[in-house]
Each structure stands twice: as structure tokens, then as C-alpha cells.
Amino acid sequence: MNAHDDVARFRADDDARIVAASFACPVCLGLDAAARLVLVPDDSEVECSCSGCATEWSVAVDAAQVLRLVLHPPVAPDDAPLRMLPPRTPGAPWSRPRAA
């Protein structure tokens, strides 16, 4: 199990602004961050990076929260400036470089 800096506190059916607030910067409380979902069975997390102060942190997410972030990410630029980057799946057979 990985160590996480925080745990996401939103429900799968919450408003996009609530979802984005779960990934607010822990230092400057800025919402303008880049976030990448890292998919690991039973231990997924979101790696975050603040645009304002360059702080990096991670937030643990459960299966329902992963589903919400994949199917309906908070992308409204005015209400939720969080930028969701394409997910990463470390160690998955389909993510390895292909043999030549």
C-alpha cells in the first residue's frame, strides 16, 4: 500500500465543484491544479500539482471515486479549474512498451 498525503472526500454523485475541491492545494488552497489518476487495484490515487505554488501531493480515491473521475471528470473551466490528465496504470501489461 502506498502512503497518501490525503484522502478524497466526495461522493460519486457530487457536484463538479465539490469533486474539484477534494484536490485543492494543501499549501495555498488553490484550485488551479493538474491531476493524474493512477490506477492500481485497491490502491488508486490522484497525483496533483499546483499551478500557483508548485506543490505536489497525492490523494487516495476509492473505486466509486475512480469511476466518477473517469466517467464524469470535473472539467468546467470556470467552476472547477482542475485539469485531469490521462490516467496512468503502472505495471499493467497493456502499458508496457511493445517489443520490436
Which chain residues interact with Zn ion by CB under 5 A? 25, 27-28, 30, 50, 52-53, 55
Instruction: Report the residue number, 7 or 53, with the smaller CB distance to Zn ion.
Output: 53
- Between CA 57 and CA 23 the distance in angstroms is 9
- Minimum distance from residue 92 beta carbon to Zn ion (Å): 31
- Minimum distance from residue 36 beta carbon to Zn ion (Å): 16
What is the phi-psi region of residue 29: left when phi exceeds 0, alpha when psi lies from -120 to 50, beta otherwise? left
Instruction: Report the residue number, 53 or 75, with the smaller CB distance to Zn ion.
Output: 53
Q: Which three cell numbers stand for residue 41?
A: 487495484
CA dist list (Å): 50 to 24, 31, 57, 89: 8, 8, 9, 22
Instruction: Report the residue number, 30 or 81, with the smaller CB distance to Zn ion.
Output: 30
Q: Is 94 exposed, middle or buried (CB count within 10 Å of its CB: 0-12, 13-18, 19+)?
A: exposed
- Minimum distance from residue 25 beta carbon to Zn ion (Å): 3
- Minimum distance from residue 37 beta carbon to Zn ion (Å): 20
Instruction: Report the residue number, 57 or 68, with the smaller CB distance to Zn ion.
Output: 57
